[in-house]
Amino acid sequence: MQISFLHPSMDGSFDILCSSDASLAEGRRS
């Protein structure tokens, strides 16, 4: 199941990510 969600990017905007990219998103948080 693909779940899209908003992820705040460093420039203040929001990136739309899929659940498949969750691991990548966590890596970009740090």
Q: Mean pLDDT for each 10-residue chunk of the chain (30 residues)?
A: 63 62 59
Domain containing residue 17 = 1-30
The pLDDT of residue 25 is: 58
The pLDDT of residue 6 is: 65
The pLDDT of residue 30 is: 52
The pLDDT of residue 28 is: 60
> How many domains is the chain built from?
1
Phi, psi of 25 (to 5 degrees): -65, -40
The pLDDT of residue 13 is: 67
The pLDDT of residue 15 is: 65
